[in-house]
Amino acid sequence: MKANDVQAMENRRTFDASGVHVVNIMASPGAGKTSFILETVRRLGDQVRMAAIEGDLASTVDTDKVRAGGIPAVQINTGGGCHLDANQVGRALPDLPLEDVDLLFIENVGNMVCPVGFYLGEHTRVAISSVPEGDDKPHKYPSIFANVDVLIVNKIDLLPYLAFDMDAFQALVRGLNPEVQIFAVSCVTGEGFDAWTAWLREQALKG
């Protein structure tokens, strides 16, 4: 862990020197990480220069999607590892045009446990929890909800069809993390994205 933190600080110095704001996105498989990134890119692409690092056990499926969405992307395949670490991210950076980037997404490996334990050098930590996963997720995985800056509640277009208590869910999350920013969104309808992208744009461009 100490070696990881040393490399993470080196990554952070690289990001800061390049003027890049880095967002580490963590979630379980199927929560909608890639769709969320693509919708954010679609809405901010003419205002903020973006790129992505895509972490997966195998394949380039998400990287191909993100590149097709119009931004540079680099794939990291962990070969079975349940999270990205700072060394993997550091090795990927020379393949990105950081001098032409304001905002870098790191899409972590789909997992609600391991990724939050490894600092990568990011400025903002984001967790995504989707409505179909249930409103009891913070009871089961409290660490990730307690240690992020932003929580995205995704797939809210499904609320009419599922037993998900949004008020109770948000109250539970704020009990773990009083300072967390919460945005409820739908990648299908676009609901909630104006608030999210306005907040993100401010973060990306203020430094």
- Give tens-digit pLDDT for 135-154: 999 999 999 999 999 999 99
Residue pair 144/127 in contact by the 8 Å Cβ criterion: yes
Residue pair 24/104 in contact by the 8 Å Cβ criterion: no
Mean pLDDT over all residues of the chain? Answer: 97
Question: What pLDDT, in 10s, does the model give residues 159-192?
Answer: 999 999 999 999 999 999 999 999 999 999 999 9
The pTM of the whole model exceeds 0.85: yes
Q: What span, in angstroms and rounded, lies between the C-alpha atoms of 23 and 20?
A: 10
Q: What confidence tier does 206 reach under pLDDT thresholds 50, 70, 90?
A: confident
**pLDDT (average), residues 96-125:** 97
Q: What confidence tier does 112 reach under pLDDT thresholds 50, 70, 90?
A: very high
**pLDDT (average), residues 60-74:** 97
Greatest alpha-carbon span in the chain: 47
Share of the chain above pLDDT 90, in %: 98
**pLDDT at 27 (0 to 100):** 98
* Residue 8 CB contacts under 8 Å (≥ 6 apart), including other chains: 86, 118, 119, 120, 121
**pLDDT (average), residues 87-101:** 97
Q: What confidence tier does 207 reach under pLDDT thresholds 50, 70, 90?
A: low
**pLDDT at 1 (0 to 100):** 86
Domain extents in the chain: 2-205
CATH 3.40.50.300 for domain 2-205:
yes
Q: What confidence tier does 75 reach under pLDDT thresholds 50, 70, 90?
A: very high
CB atoms within 10 A of CB 163: 8
Question: What pLDDT, in 10s, does the model give residues 2-58?
Answer: 999 999 999 999 999 999 999 999 999 999 999 999 999 999 999 999 999 999 999
Q: What span, in angstroms and rounded, lies between the C-alpha atoms of 125 and 164?
A: 24
